[in-house]
Structure 1
Amino acid sequence: MTTFLQLHLLTFVPPANLNRDDTGAPKTAIVGGEPRLRLSSQSLKRAWRTSTVFETAMAGHLGSRTRRFGEEVQKHLLDQGIAAEKAQEVTRKVITVFGKAEDEKDEKKALYTRQLAFISPEEKQAAFQLADKLAAGEAVDEKKFPQDVLKRADTAVDIAMFGRMLADNPDFNREAAVQVAHAITTHRVVVEDDYYTAVDDLNRGEEDAGAGFVGNAGYGSGVFYLYLCIDKNQLVKNLGGDEALAASAVAALTEAAAKVLPGGKQNSFAAHGRAAFILAEKGSEQPRTLAGAFARPVKAEDALQASVTALLDLRGKFAKAYGEGDMTHAIMDFETGQGSLAEIIAFVTDGKA
């Protein structure tokens, strides 16, 4: 029986531009006929897996999403005294495991793959070993390169959580164990523009007293609702059955989701918010988001508390209509002083983190 872990978080974010669109403005969405600020799931996942919180907790168990792995393979070979020309030839063969190599005529990208590849620590070491064999002149069947390097399960928790796709070797794709929704504000938000100037410190005003630079930057503020769902069984499977590592990964993800926001324009806004409310749920019941609590935008002076009330109200209505089955829950609420992040983590990990 599959166990699902669901996290619902409410986080107040002051004026910020954490996740920009192609014009540089904050990303938005129309929900319930009203404009909302939005943080894409991709921006959230990257912020979490590259955060100090996650990297400290999961050191040695993180993959790399890159096109440039060939540079590491080449360096590995050069450090062993392999001639540069031979090292490049071998490297271009090895990286085809992860994707098609760029044109060799492009000197700057000759060791790049055309697609980003998510590569685990174990696969890196296997690639280095394959490179060593090829450089030593050993006979290696090129058709077996993928089986020699790629893994269907290993200890890379970020790959286990967020999955990967290898277009040229789909047998080694990973099904993501974690689903992350786009975060949206619980209420209507209109993006504003900040008109700013940069002063030339050496301009004495003798000829031109104006600014050295003038610009506009969009921003917005609000209470964000974030939902994520973890398939615990899939996570353990992706990690080769290592339940202890899976528990540590869930703990790190929960802490990161509560503490870490995307890094867009943070130097300008320092909008380092933390979740003020967390609802964690655990059980085999079919997952469901509680975003519907905000289909009608919250309209209240205290948007945060009104959002908590709306979320718990919808949860209660779902429980009444569908029943809760074996689902249990835990809450952390700043306003009432109920619970703590440590208690939420203990709940989602069964105290094993």
Structure 2
Amino acid sequence: MSRFIQLHLLTFYPPSNVNRDDMGKPKTATVGGVTRLRISSQALKRAWRTSEIFDHALAGHMGQRTQRLGEEVLAHLHAKGTKEKDAIKIAREIAGVYGKVKPEKDGNPTRTEQLVFISPTEREMALAMADRMAAGEKVDPKKEQDTLLHRADTAADIALFGRMLASAPAFNREAAVQVAHAMTTHRVTVEDDYYTAIDDLNKGEEDAGAGFLGEAGFGSGVFYLYLCINRDLLLSNLGGEGETGVAEAALGALVEAAMTVSPSGKQNSYAALARAGYVLAEKGNAQPRTLAGAFARPVGGEDLMASSITALKDFRAELARVYGPGVDETCEMALGDAKSATLADLVTFCRA
């Protein structure tokens, strides 16, 4: 079985702003001396992980990224009739295993300062330990880290995207999936959208102007996205050979989400619900490599998708000439080519 799966996607986004910066403008990067639109890997992974695709395919095998585990413990103890003072103390001690807890005088004294990925198993263990402590058992949560934290479990999103626990680095999880920032294959100009909102009850008797004026940036283009999946690490993160079914479900969900799910930014304003126009999936054991170099020089022409596909294929062929093929199997999908693979074919290819 091949160790690495690599995905190369080209997706056209119409005028939109799916991932904006601190000024509200679309994120950009300067590549090849020109401005490109960019979608951060964080935005992409968040969209995939919270999608219905992941929810349905990985039900019961999804973690939660939260500061509020202590609040769940507190609510659990309240339901059991534990005294408020004791419940807060227990919740703070358990939450402290996962991160630094906010000060006792804070309005939310059981929350952690950091967001932490928690698996379903870890959540269950936290509630079980809270019950033990509430019953009067002498328990030091920090001395029982192995009970509350796990180096391997069936939380598929943690296995895929990893986690960092500053308070317990031994339980960090290295991501099995590397996701690049998506960037346009060509030069772009970020445009300004000047818009107004009209007061429906303004009859023009005092003034005929708008009730609100605003400005937002947008852009459009063909984005190249690269993912590299370490299948061995994914299976190890999940707990080994006994979790092959979860690993396959996670791979299928990831492929489908990468091809069909867009970040949620400004979607109500632009409806940029895009689908990949071209996908190349590769499997092999050799050192992975991105094909982003195909776009170091921006492509041009009237058909940016076709130009991007040609540039990617030419660059890949040149890499293979110089360094060898690098992969053992491929599966390719291109809209407009009736003989190419489908979404279902790509999912099957990557799961196998």
Check whether TM > 0.5.
Answer: yes
RMSD of the alignment, in Å? Answer: 1.1
Letter in 2 for 1:275: A
| Contact 1:6 1:281 survives alignment (8 Å) | yes
Normalising by the residue count of structure 1, what TM-score does the alignment of the two structures yield?
A: 0.97
- Between 65-74 and 190-199, report the one with greater CA deviation: 65-74
Count of residue pairs the alignment pairs up: 349
Letter in 2 for 1:262: P
Distance 2:123 2:20 in 1: 33
SS at match of 2:96: helix
Over 3 Å counting, the alpha-carbon distance change for 1:326 and 1:39 in structure 2 is closer
The share of aligned pairs that are identical, in percent, is 59
Equivalent in the alignment of 2:346: 344
Match of 2:30 in 1: 30
**1:226 corresponding residue in structure 2:** 225
Quote the offset at 1:300 in angstroms.
Answer: 1.0
Shift of 1:273: 0.2
Question: Do the aligned residues in 2 keep the contact of 1:25 with 1:217 (CA within 8 Å)?
Answer: yes
Deviation of 1:269 after TM superposition, in Å, equals 0.5
Is 1:14 equivalent to 2:22 in the alignment? no
Whether the 8 Å CA contact 2:2–2:283 is kept in 1: the answer is no
The Cα shift of 1:142 comes to 3.9
* 2:298 match: 297
The match for 2:198 is 199
For the Cα contact (< 8 Å) 1:36–1:186, is it kept in 2?
Answer: yes
**1:104-124: CA deviations, max 9, x gaps?**
1012x2111011110000000
Structure 1 residue runs without a partner (length 5+): none
C-alpha deviation, 1:89, in angstroms: 1.2
Contact 2:6–2:226 (8 Å) recurs in 1: yes
Distance 1:313 1:341 in 2: 24
Which amino acid in 2 is paired with 1:265?
K
Runs of 4+ with >3 A deviation:
none
1:95 is displaced (CA, Å) by 0.2
CA distance in 1, matches of 2:91, 2:144: 13
Residue type at the aligned position of 2:154: T
Match of 2:276 in 1: 275
The answer for the alignment partner of 1:147 in structure 2 is: 146
Match in the other structure for 1:55: 55
The residue correspondences of 1:40-119 to structure 2 (distance < 5 A) are 40-107=40-107, 109-119=108-118
Which secondary structure state, in structure 1, belongs to the residue aligned with residue 298 of structure 2?
coil
Q: CA deviation at 1:193?
A: 0.3
- The verdict on how the C-alpha distance between 1:168 and 1:193 changes in structure 2, with shifts beyond 3 A counting, is same
Paired AA for residue 300 in structure 1: G
Q: 1:142 to 1:61 in 2, by over 3 A?
A: closer
Whether the 8 Å contact between 1:41 and 1:183 is mirrored in structure 2 is yes
Paired residue secondary structure (2:145): helix
Distance 1:263 1:222 in 2: 17
Matched residue, 2:286 = 285
Q: Distance in 2 between matches of 1:150 and 1:51?
A: 26
CA contact (8 A) 1:9 1:226 kept: yes
Contact 2:282–2:327 (CA under 8 A) maintained in structure 1: no
Q: Is contact 1:197–1:213 with CA below 8 Å preserved after alignment?
A: yes
The answer for the alignment partner of 1:323 in structure 2 is 324
* d(CA) in 1 for partners of 2:286, 2:115: 35
Equivalent-residue separation in structure 2 for 1:98 and 1:142 (angstroms):
10
Q: Is the 8 A contact 1:164 1:173 kept in 2?
A: yes
- Mapped to 2, the partners of 1:31 and 1:203 lie a distance apart of 48
In 2, the alpha carbon distance for the partners of 1:302 and 1:325 equals 29
Deviation at 1:325, TM superposition (A): 4.8
Distance change >3 Å, CA 2–CA 138, structure 1 → 2:
farther
Checking the alignment, whether the CA contact within 8 Å between 1:2 and 1:231 is kept in structure 2 is no
User: Per-residue displacement from partner, 1:189-221 (whole Å, max 9, x unpaired)?
Assistant: 110000000000000000111000000010000
* Equivalent position SS for 1:282: strand
The aligned runs of 1:207-218 (5 Å cut-off) are: 207-218=206-217
Structure 2 counterpart of 1:335, which letter?
A: G
Which letter maps to 2:347? Answer: I
Distance of 1:342 and 1:59 partners within structure 2:
20
Counterpart mapping for 1:97-176 below 5 A: 97-107=97-107, 109-176=108-175
